[in-house]
Amino acid sequence: MKTRKPADVPGDLESSRRRFEQWRRRRKGHIPIPEALWAEAVTLAGRYGVSRTARTLRVGYRSLKTRVERKTDCLASSSPLLGEPAFLELAIPSQAGTGECLLEWEDAAGAKMRLHFRGVEVPDLVALSRSFWEGLR
């Protein structure tokens, strides 16, 4: 496996690597990495990628990736520019409702209705059907 020379690592990533190493030397026992260092790692992962940042800082790839995803999810939910659009326009095709339809209704009492439509949209037919059946009750 090829090891990188310090010159191959960007300055801010190298500075962060040194801070992580200082923290590792000073800690006593098995304590979690401080949130300030994790925040720094997440920011650097946004610039240099999760894999490269995790290798350079010697942190778990999955732990860093999870934190990056969590930050991305938080940003997306708080900003309409990064998440779902605030407004979505649905264009209706110009040929909508140009079909032809023949409807025939008959109930048990013998009431009948026959309609022949051209260019009527389905929601209009549903409303018409409801009014016919409700009027018979």
> Which pLDDT tens digit goes with each residue over 108-118?
777 777 777 77
What is the dihedral angle through the alpha carbons of 32, 33, 38, 39, rounded to the nearest 10 degrees? Answer: 90
- Which token pair is 65? 């990736």
- pLDDT level of residue 19 (50, 70, 90 thresholds): very high
pLDDT at position 63 is 93
This model's pTM is above 0.75: no
CA neighbor of 58 nearest in space, from 7, 23, 95, 109 = 23
The 10s digit of each residue's pLDDT in 50-103 is 999 999 999 999 999 999 988 877 665 555 555 555 655 666 555 555 667 777
- Rounded Cα–Cα distance for residues 66 and 62 (Å): 6
